[in-house]
A and B are shown apart, each in its own frame.
Chain A
Amino acid sequence: MSANRSERLMKLLIMLLVQRTHVPKERIRAELYPDAGDDAFEKMFERDKEELRSLGVPLEVGQRDVLFEDEPGYLVRPGDFALPDVVLDPDEAAVLGVATQVWESARLADATLAGVRKLSAAGVPVPLEGQRHDGADLGISPPRLGAAEPAFDVLVEAVHVRCEVVFDYRGTKDDAPVERHLQPWGLVRHGGRWYVVGRDVDRQEERVFRLSRIVGEARMTGRRDAFVPPEGVDVGEVARRLAPPPPTGVPAVLLVRPGTGFALRRDAVEVTPGVPGPDGATWDRVRLEGSGPSVVEAVLEHGPDVVVEEPARLRDEVVRRLEALLDGLGVAPRRGTP
């Protein structure tokens, strides 16, 4: 039963917290698991230790007596256990209350609340549920941080317990998902997408994987504390280095039919109205900072309402793709000239 289990976990924690030296496993067993058989005890004890560690309890394994090395003992040092003093001002505490509403992931929202609850217990009055506000009086509209990718929660856990993960991954060039093994160092959000950074065990290299391309579940495999990330690694830096943003290209000059192309106008560095258009009517000239891949697509999307003036490379690309489209539709591209 759960209440019994909570009670046993608390008693185990208190027992290890109040002792000055490592408590032998046999003593723990006699005290807290008196009715369990050998196998059942090992299983329960392993799970209980895991639960306490996952709550953040620094459970230390050591030898009570150097002469009897096969006898492991356990200890929780009060100095490692307790939260250092944090004295927050009321406005800072209010901000923490708003922070509990940021995560959309239930797992991370719970973790934030649990963390705030600990800080709150230390004496800081943090406004939580029941007196929650939406941050309006602080000038904050609390953003919601989404992590819709199903693998997100498992990877967060794996990063923190330093456990290897396995998942099926479909890269941009893979036809079918491929099983990958990773020692995850951290998670990075870039352009609204989550990426996991770590050491690819199969390829023996640092790699970045996009969470939305993980097919099905990610699973933790093997023991915790199985690896140590490189000293001082900056996961954001690794992600930016391995997955650079697309090139922006040289500046682009477009002609845009009046009353259309609002998205392009919005991104423009300059709009000159009333210039001669390709059909003899009056159009607008729109200047963009770059002519990268996304501009090609934006131009194509507008069909006959947008024409590229410069650069020639962008012009050629648009023409080539429109001709290929007509080819694919079974229509000769050069037919139909008035």
Chain B
Amino acid sequence: MSGAGSREQVGRMLALVPYLNARGAVHVDQAARDLGVTPQQVVKDLRVLFLCGLPGGYPDDLIEVDIDALVEPDGDRLIRMSNADYLDRPLRLSPTEASALVVALRVLRTHAAPATRDVVDRALLKIETALGGQTATIDPGEGPAVRGRDAEIVDTLREAVAARRQLTIDYHVPSRDEVSTRVVDPARLVEHGGLLYLEAWCHTADAPRTFRVDRVHAARVLPTPVATEHDEVAPSDPEAGPEQLFVPPPGSTLVTLRLDAEVRWVPDYYPVEAVRPAGDGAVEVDLRVADARWLQRLLLRLAPHARVLAPAGPGDELAERARQALRHYR
């Protein structure tokens, strides 16, 4: 265990003592559940507490814990602690803990159904009062901008997630500029890079899919319950999180673009693999392209400030679309 492990351990012990003081003898498994740690860790923490106490080091001054009851085969696994009255109140929250909790609640509030929003408000008020106004250091903002009709769609998606019911959605695929209708089992809404995504099992594709909520053009809750478990939809590695949204599909091509200074913000919004300065404020970027139509739309979007350096490909189609577009203005 590292030094940081000690810090965490002390933090846990400072919660464990008041927890036990408030409850008397508690089964070790129950304590572990309530404090969000493993029973083994609770026993380890108690073994350290057992050595601590008032300065002076006389046996009477030490915190008492019946360790035998926890580790002996015939022990009843109840935690009995005494002689720790001076630690019977939990430590106040550190500024980071206070901010982290309050921000999490504020974010939760924006995602909650109206009835629950009220519960979150009550909890926030009590906690902010107890913390005494030291929580304004992190401002989570409004979350992804949800405009007009989007708000209704987001409400529908939330309702289906909460009720664990299937949904039918009209989904827009911009690289083809097409809308298709699918039946999905919604698992959760996640937020990444200012956008809201719906993680779901798509019955049309018969596979887990992540949908950008601002590309869902219509959504309707079905009477049928979802047919898949959340776990089937969950990213296999929770640490990886929504980064997985950008795992390049097999068969994609690595494309190198030159971006003029006017559009050097592109790497902030698109998943690029490398960025190199190219002089005069321009940059070269490498990115994975799975669909040539997507690249063509990107180049039009950034016109005339993005140019393909490699692989050498047909610029003809791009030129043809630009020419056709210009014809409409003449």
Asked if A143 and B190 sit within 8 Å, CB to CB, the answer is yes
CB nearest to A237 among chain B residues: B139
**B292 lies within 8 A of chain A by Cβ:** no
**B207 lies within 8 A of chain A by Cβ:** no
Asked if A115 and B22 sit within 8 Å, CB to CB, the answer is no
Given A51-B6, A95-B116, A212-B268, A115-B172 contact (CB < 8 Å): no
Given A160-B137, A175-B281, A189-B141, A92-B122 contact (CB < 8 Å): yes
**B243 lies within 8 A of chain A by Cβ:** yes
Given A114-B11, A143-B111, A173-B281, A160-B95 contact (CB < 8 Å): yes
Residues of A within 8 A of B48 (CB): 3, 6-7, 10
**B290 lies within 8 A of chain A by Cβ:** no
Bound form: Cα–Cα A218–B16 in Å: 34
Bound form: Cα–Cα A156–B96 in Å: 7
Residues of A within 8 A of B98 (CB): 115
Given A95-B119, A139-B162, A324-B304, A120-B34 contact (CB < 8 Å): yes
Given A18-B54, A234-B136, A297-B302, A103-B7 contact (CB < 8 Å): no
- The interface residues of chain A, by DSSP majority, are classed as helix
Asked if B195 and A117 sit within 8 Å, CB to CB, the answer is no
Query: Which of B15, B99, B136 is A118 in contact with, Cβ under 8 Å?
Result: B15
Residues of A within 8 A of B80 (CB): none
Asked if B138 and A186 sit within 8 Å, CB to CB, the answer is yes
Asked if A83 and B92 sit within 8 Å, CB to CB, the answer is yes
Bound form: Cα–Cα A262–B241 in Å: 29
CB nearest to A118 among chain B residues: B90
**B193 lies within 8 A of chain A by Cβ:** yes
**B103 lies within 8 A of chain A by Cβ:** yes
Report the minimal beta-carbon distance from B90 to chain A, rounded to whole angstroms: 4
Residues of A within 8 A of B307 (CB): 328
Residues of A within 8 A of B162 (CB): 135-136, 139-141
Residues of B within 8 A of A279 (CB): 328
Report the minimal beta-carbon distance from B230 to chain A, rounded to whole angstroms: 7
**B277 lies within 8 A of chain A by Cβ:** yes
Asked if A83 and B93 sit within 8 Å, CB to CB, the answer is yes
Bound form: Cα–Cα A34–B100 in Å: 38
**A172 lies within 8 A of chain B by Cβ:** yes
**A99 lies within 8 A of chain B by Cβ:** yes
Asked if B325 and A303 sit within 8 Å, CB to CB, the answer is yes
Asked if B91 and A263 sit within 8 Å, CB to CB, the answer is no
Q: Which of B65-73, B144-152, B247-255 contacts A (4 or more CB under 8 A)?
A: B144-152
Report the minimal beta-carbon distance from A167 to chain B, rounded to whole angstroms: 16
Report the minimal beta-carbon distance from B151 to chain A, rounded to whole angstroms: 13
CB nearest to A159 among chain B residues: B137
Report the minimal beta-carbon distance from A207 to chain B, rounded to whole angstroms: 16
Residues of B within 8 A of A56 (CB): 91-95, 97
Report the minimal beta-carbon distance from A182 to chain B, rounded to whole angstroms: 14
**B87 lies within 8 A of chain A by Cβ:** yes
Asked if B322 and A113 sit within 8 Å, CB to CB, the answer is no
Residues of B within 8 A of A135 (CB): 162
CB nearest to B239 among chain A residues: A106
The number of inter-chain residue pairs (CB within 8 angstroms) is: 409
Residues of B within 8 A of A99 (CB): 101, 104-105, 108
Bound form: Cα–Cα A189–B138 in Å: 8
Report the minimal beta-carbon distance from A108 to chain B, rounded to whole angstroms: 5
Within 8 A of B (CB), among A322-338: 322-329, 331, 333, 335-338
Given A120-B15, A192-B191, A112-B97 contact (CB < 8 Å): yes
Asked if B139 and A301 sit within 8 Å, CB to CB, the answer is no
Bound form: Cα–Cα A275–B144 in Å: 34
Bound form: Cα–Cα A148–B239 in Å: 11
Asked if B116 and A140 sit within 8 Å, CB to CB, the answer is yes
Bound form: Cα–Cα A146–B240 in Å: 11
Asked if A81 and B149 sit within 8 Å, CB to CB, the answer is no
Bound form: Cα–Cα A279–B329 in Å: 11
**B312 lies within 8 A of chain A by Cβ:** no
Within 8 A of A (CB), among B58-114: 86-87, 89-101, 103-105, 107-108, 110-113
Asked if B191 and A10 sit within 8 Å, CB to CB, the answer is no
Query: Which of B35, B53, B113, B172 is A128 in contact with, Cβ under 8 Å?
Result: B35
CB nearest to B97 among chain A residues: A115
Candidate in B113, B243, B323 with the most chain A CB atoms within 10 angstroms = B323
**B227 lies within 8 A of chain A by Cβ:** no
Bound form: Cα–Cα A51–B230 in Å: 39
Given A139-B113, A303-B322, A121-B119 contact (CB < 8 Å): no
**A25 lies within 8 A of chain B by Cβ:** no
**A43 lies within 8 A of chain B by Cβ:** no
**A75 lies within 8 A of chain B by Cβ:** no
Asked if A144 and B190 sit within 8 Å, CB to CB, the answer is yes
Within 8 A of A (CB), among B275-323: 277, 279, 281, 297-304, 307, 315, 318-319, 321-323
Residues of A within 8 A of B323 (CB): 326, 331, 333, 335-336
What 0/1 pattern do residues 234 to 261 of A give for CB contact below 8 A with B?
A: 1110010000000000000000000011
Give the 9 A-B residue pairs with the shortest CB-CB distance, closest first: A192-B194, A56-B94, A139-B113, A82-B89, A115-B97, A128-B36, A324-B304, A304-B324, A325-B303
What are 12 A-B contacts with C-beta separation under 8 Å? A55-B11, A103-B100, A114-B93, A121-B15, A139-B158, A144-B191, A157-B96, A190-B141, A192-B144, A304-B327, A325-B322, A326-B319
